[in-house]
Amino acid sequence: MKNKYTSELTKNKYDAIIIGSGVGGLTTAVFLAKAGKKVLVLEKHYETGGFTHTFKRKKFEWDVGAHYIGQVNIENSLLRKTFDYVTDGKLLWDDMGDIYDQTIIEGNTYNFRKGFVKQVNQLIEYFPEEEKAIRLYYDLIIKVSNCASLFITEKTMPNWLSTIFGNSLKKNFLKYSRQTTYEVLSNLTTNEKLINVLCAQCGNYGLTPLKSSFGIHALVISHYLEGAAYPVGGSSKIHQSMINVIESNGGTIAIKADVKNIIIKKNKAIGVLMQNGDTIYGKKIISNAGAHNTFNVLISKEFQKSENTIELNKIKPSVANVCLYIGLNKSDEFLKLPKHNIWIYENYKLDISLKHHLEKKDSASPFFYISFPSAKDSSWQKNHPNTSTIEVLSSYPYEWVEEWENNKWQKRGEAYEKTKENIKLQLLNKLYETLPQIKGHVEICELSTPLSTKHFSNYNKGEIYGLEHTPQRFELKQLRPKTNYKNLFLTGQDIVAVGVCSALFSGVITAISILNRNLIWRISKYKIKT
């Protein structure tokens, strides 16, 4: 197995040891490796890439987390240039077209279109009497999104500088992130239908309007305002391209490399202790394992600090879900499958419906998300002729499968398999109801549960978005690259926000904190070598 962990790695001392090969960890590794640092990335599982990895069954392949990405379809956007920098320009993108998301609520269809003006006009067409509220809403989305850049910049500052300037940099974003999405929207309009349509993409951050911070809502909505794209060749191309850059700059990736603890001496991180007893030493230790895992698990009890854990542990893990992976024996074109995603809700009461669902074990989810990875990927038909793929996600609390958590993967028993079969039928029936033309063409159908997510991501409750994006989450002072242990840093979506792109920027700000260099300037000046 290529890159499998070996004790030979203990013979070297590294400038940086990175725990976890998600996008945040890999991005940090790229910047450090390009700066001439000796880098080691340790991944617990046999797959690298976190939620950008894909898996295969027979002739089919599915992504597990990176379903669509905004702003990369704009060549000179900072996000696109960052991806170009960390992949040496090897990552290519397929634009999803004019419509990137579609929402169906009580049978009514609402399209989310590429471009600020188009989207505003589209919503006004649906709700002509709410034109003023709609225009105010989108102006506010842009305003709050712009404030977020200063909020994130503050995270790169040393403590003494943050003490002087931090509050002034954060205050404009915190003004809105301290409010729930519903609080902000209900001040703009009393139209509950409109509020629920504006929040129809809330599955991208995992909380309904009454619970979510308006800060995360604004970040996600603004992220997709100019449309979305998908990696040519699938989401695995993201981490594969980054790994190639790390290795070409002298870095090392090791899989099946299970870290037990971060070694702390005199409040200083000096290395990692592996589960097999090996010790590996490094000048900087960077955790991409999530804030909960880092402060509660990877740091031994005797070295844990209450200022890191007390407030952090009040923030719940984000939503868990089930996902149905479907392979079909006809092409997307033949089956008339769209590139855009479909969000389906049973009614215009997102908060109430989800609350009732979560309170009743094994109840059917009130929302479904349908994605078409093969339709988004221009290389699919060349590599997988006359086939197509679909994914269907819905909410499913971890507690509903918790009784099987100590059983081995793929050996969890008859009762677990029966539960999975019932969920599979629910999702499949919803899919047939939405796309009846696929009936008779399903060749493979496989379900993952929150236990699968826990197994592969190492998140304790099978959460896909790290910490819940509540107003309280954005108040946590320890969600920044530099920790209160010397030479220990954090990266990953917990220190910025949900998603692949936030994880990417977390890697950038972690690298800035370590290297003390203006990496944003370097990214902006980067040009792809021809």
The domain spans of the chain are 7-52+232-315+476-524, 115-224, 316-457
Select from 11, 3, 2, 1 the least CA-distant residue to 280.
11
Task: Please say whether the beta carbons of 65 and 52 come within 8 A.
Answer: yes
pLDDT of residue 1: 60
pLDDT of residue 464: 86
pLDDT of residue 144: 97
Largest CA distance in the chain: 70
Helix, strand, coil percentages in the chain from 3-state DSSP, rounded to 5 = 45, 20, 35
- The single residue listed with the structure tokens 């920790």 is 483
Residues 6+ apart with CB under 8 A from 134: 120, 123, 124, 127, 194
What residues does 324 pair with on adjacent strands? 392, 447
CA 431 to chain centre: 24
| 233/93 Cα distance (integer angstroms) | 9
Q: Count CB-CB contacts under 10 A for residue 342.
A: 19
E strands in 352-441: 367-371, 388-395
pLDDT of residue 2: 80
Burial 195-218 (b: 16+ CB within 10 A, else e): bbbbbbbbbbbbbbbbbbbbbbbb
Cα dihedral 172, 173, 175, 179, rounded to 10, equals 160
Averages of pLDDT over each 10 residues, the chain, 530 residues: 90 96 97 98 92 90 92 94 97 97 97 97 98 98 96 92 91 97 98 98 96 98 97 96 97 97 98 98 97 96 96 93 96 97 96 94 93 97 96 95 87 91 95 97 95 83 91 96 97 94 97 95 85
Which amino acid is located at 366 in the chain? P
CA atoms within 13 A on the CB side of 425: 7
| 443/328 Cα distance (integer angstroms) | 5
Q: Quote the pTM value.
A: 0.96
Task: Please say whether the beta carbons of 67 and 323 come within 8 A.
Answer: no
Task: Please say whether the beta carbons of 67 and 391 come within 8 A.
Answer: yes
Helix 131-154 vs helix 159-177: crossing angle, to nearest 10: 160
* Element holding 258 (H helix, E strand): none
| 414/396 Cα distance (integer angstroms) | 19
- The single residue listed with the structure tokens 């509020």 is 195
Select from 239, 200, 230 the least CA-distant residue to 72.
230
Would you call 349 exposed, middle or buried from its count of C-beta atoms within 10 A (0-12, 13-18, 19+)? middle
Task: Please say whether the beta carbons of 395 and 369 come within 8 A.
Answer: no
216: three-class secondary structure by DSSP: helix
Q: 490 is written with which tokens?
A: 């954090």
| 437/322 Cα distance (integer angstroms) | 23
| 34/31 Cα distance (integer angstroms) | 5
Select from 456, 397, 432 the least CA-distant residue to 326.
432
CATH level 2 (architecture), domain 7-52+232-315+476-524: 3-Layer(bba) Sandwich (3.50)
DSSP alpha helices (H): ranges in 274-342?
A: 291-293, 306-309, 332-335
